[in-house]
Amino acid sequence: MAAPILRLGCAGRRCALAGVKGASRHRRGAPNGFALNEMRVQSSMAPRPVITAQKPRKGEHEWAPVVGLEIHAQISSNSKLFSGSQVHFAAPPNSLVSFFDASLPGTLPVLNRRCVEAAVMTGLALNCRINKKSLFDRKHYFYADLPAGYQITQQRLPIAVSGILTYGVCEGNKRNQIITKTVRIKQIQLEQDSGKSLHDHPQSQTLVDLNRAGVGLLEVVMEPDMTCGEEAATAVRELQLILQALGTSQANMAEGQLRVDANISVHHPGEPFGVRTEVKNLNSARFLAKAIDYEIQRQIYELENGGEILNETRSFDSKLGCTVPMRDKEGKQDYRFMPEPNLPPLVLYDADSLPAGADSQQVVDIDYIRERLPELPSVTRDKLVQQYGMLPEHSFTLLNEVGLLAFFQSVIKETRAEPKLVTNWVLNTFLGYLKQQNLTVSESPVTPSALAELLTLLDGKVISSSAAKQVFEELWTGKGKTAAHIVSEKQLGLMQDQEALEQFCQAVMEQHPQVVTDVKNGNLRAVNKLIGLVRKATLSRADPTAIRKILEKQLSL
């Protein structure tokens, strides 16, 4: 039921894509427009220098920054939280709007079971206590993309509380040490998303798209257990992986499916927390880390220079790389919460409380969902370490890059090469190429099968390691040729003919008597020089190990 029907309800004079003049203030709760595609930037975020906020400067008090997060994750569901309209990103404006979404008088909310299940799954994955009874509330504020004048949320009694999220931060000189940290989850609540306002400043108009109005959100509230931008960004990344593993949210920050507000304050250790500011609408992990670190530094600077921190809402200006106060007074407005009278309490069951003969379509059973939870990222990482003898930090990298784990697993499946070799190639060569060209895994010109074939050749000593690099380069820029094809075309295969190789060795020794003498005089390093010369003579097609064997035999070492 889309815009055309909606227009009927407008007495034919105005559609939901309403033009509102002069509505140009900042927006609360959600980004105004489309975010830049930050996914790939974010993946390279891990090896950033640790910020210096915690480190006291000489002769100064030590400052302890405190960071808490409120994260809105759009629930991955076919229809909206309280209406039957579909959920799609980038559908034509106002094409996914039911009578309820447009707040036609007399319409009532009907809770989407799928959204409830998604909230329970997420709660369980974050080690929360699931409330068997939760309530819905109305939160009031006037805005053009909030048609009812209130948002239905769970302010008093949310669906899940008291959880823990564990995440790993890289530390050490080479940033190859994973330190496990935790952040407490205060609560997870179900709520409605708002529509989108597109401000057309030159014409002083605001265009409203209600496609997003009423889409289900999970608001995850994290306690202020973090101390810097990197921790926050890493915790958000871990949450993102969990949501994606559960399938409860696509959690794509670029598409606004994951949006983060950060609460930031600084104080001296042992003293009460400082006044906090809220930085809103952070829609990339990189900006999140930057905004938090900037805000911490700003607050310290303010306080050290006799200023004071206002309890205010700020936004992050990604161009200037700093936070600025949001000028509207919305942050301080009274939301006049009240119970949503049209929704009875949301009651969940477990194996013990499930009424006999209950229709499984009518009830949500927490235990049933718990038993069917998919594998979580932490378990996947442990398995990688155990199964393939991989370093923990490698398992983190594999999961952090979108699609990289699946790529790795496909290669493993199709190659005879050792897992260590595969890990090495996927994380260094393959990922290196992607990063260099700013591509995602799915955009890679090299398929898992092609890499698998290459690694099989390398593992079977058909080609040398350096030849393999050359083949990979060909595959990357390639014209659809297979690794074997490239090897034969460029004659990159290792010499398999023992006699021919022996002849090469003999010839090199004859041509370089001085080096042979050096070896015989006990300079064993000179052997390496001979090996290099043989390889050069074979145009790098010989396996150095095989050459060494022959040389050692011929020199009777």
Partner 1 sequence: MTAGDIVKITVSAGLKQGQITPTELCQKCLSLIKKTKFLNAYITVTEEVALKQAEESEKRYSKGQSLGDLDGIPFAVKDNFSTSGIETTCASNMLKGYVPPYNATVVQKLLDQGALLMGKTNLDEFAMGSGSTDGVFGPVKNPWSYSKQYREKRKQKPLRANEDSDWLITGGSSGGSAAAVSAFTCFAALGSDTGGSTRNPAALCGLVGLKPSYGLVSRHGLIPLVNSMDVPGILTRCVDDAAIILGVLAGQDPKDSTTVQDPVKPFVLPSLTDVSKLCVGIPKEYLVPELSSEVQSLWSKAADLFESQGAKVIEVSLPHTSYSIVCYHVLCTSEVASNMARFDGLEYGHRCNNDVSLEAMYAATRREGFNDVVRGRILSGNFFLLKENYENYFIKAQKVRRLIANDFMDVFNSGVDVLLTPTTLREAIPYSEFIKEDNRTRSAQDDIFTQAVNMAGLPAISVPVALSNQGLPVGLQFIGRAFCDQQLLIIAKWFEKQVQFPIIQLQELIDDYSAIIENEKFASVSLTQ
341 is a contact residue toward partner 1 (CB under 8 A): yes
Total number of residues shown for the chain: 557
CB of 28 or CB of 138, closer to partner 1: 138
Region class of 345: left (phi > 0), else alpha (psi between -120 and 50), else beta: beta
CB of 60 or CB of 142, closer to partner 1: 142
The type of residue at 487 is V
**What number of other Cβ atoms are within 10 A of residue 172's Cβ?**
10
Stretch that binds partner 1, among 142-150, 264-272, 364-372, 489-497 (CB under 8 A): 142-150
Which parts of 243-302 interact with partner 1 (CB under 8 A)? Answer: none
Instruction: Look up residue 441 and give its DSSP letter.
Output: G
Least distance in angstroms from the C-beta of 243 to partner 1: 27
153 is a contact residue toward partner 1 (CB under 8 A): no
| Residue whose entry in the numeric block shows the structure tokens 């690099």 | 469
Of residues 342, 386, 511, 545, which one binds partner 1 by CB under 8 A?
A: 342
- Residue 263: beta bridge partners? 68, 278
Residue 198 CA: distances (Å) to CA of 69, 143, 209, 233, 329 = 26, 13, 8, 28, 20
- Residue 265: beta bridge partners? 66
CB of 336 or CB of 416, closer to partner 1: 336
Query: Who contacts 387 (Cβ-Cβ below 8 Å, separation ≥6)?
Result: 419
CB of 150 or CB of 504, closer to partner 1: 150
Q: How many residues bind partner 1 (CB under 8 A)?
A: 44
Of residues 41, 50, 198, 343, which one binds partner 1 by CB under 8 A?
A: 343
Residue 34 CA: distances (Å) to CA of 120, 253, 426 = 29, 10, 32
207 is a contact residue toward partner 1 (CB under 8 A): no
Of residues 40, 140, 184, 481, which one binds partner 1 by CB under 8 A?
A: 140
159 is a contact residue toward partner 1 (CB under 8 A): no
Write the DSSP assignment of 101-140 as a string of letters.
Answer: TTT-TT------HHHHHHHHHHHHHTTPEEPSEE--EEEE
CB of 307 or CB of 344, closer to partner 1: 344
Which parts of 86-115 interact with partner 1 (CB under 8 A)? Answer: 99, 102-111
Query: What is the rounded CA–CA span in Å between residue 311 and residue 331?
Result: 9
Least distance in angstroms from the C-beta of 281 to partner 1: 19
Query: What is the rounded CA–CA span in Å between residue 516 and residue 508?
Result: 10
Least distance in angstroms from the C-beta of 162 to partner 1: 25
Of residues 29, 68, 123, 147, which one binds partner 1 by CB under 8 A?
A: 147
State in Å, rounded, how far the first CA of the chain is from the last one. Answer: 85
Binding site for partner 1 (CB under 8 A): 5-6, 8-12, 14, 16, 18, 20-23, 25, 99, 102-111, 138, 140, 142, 144, 147-150, 206, 208, 334, 336-338, 341-344
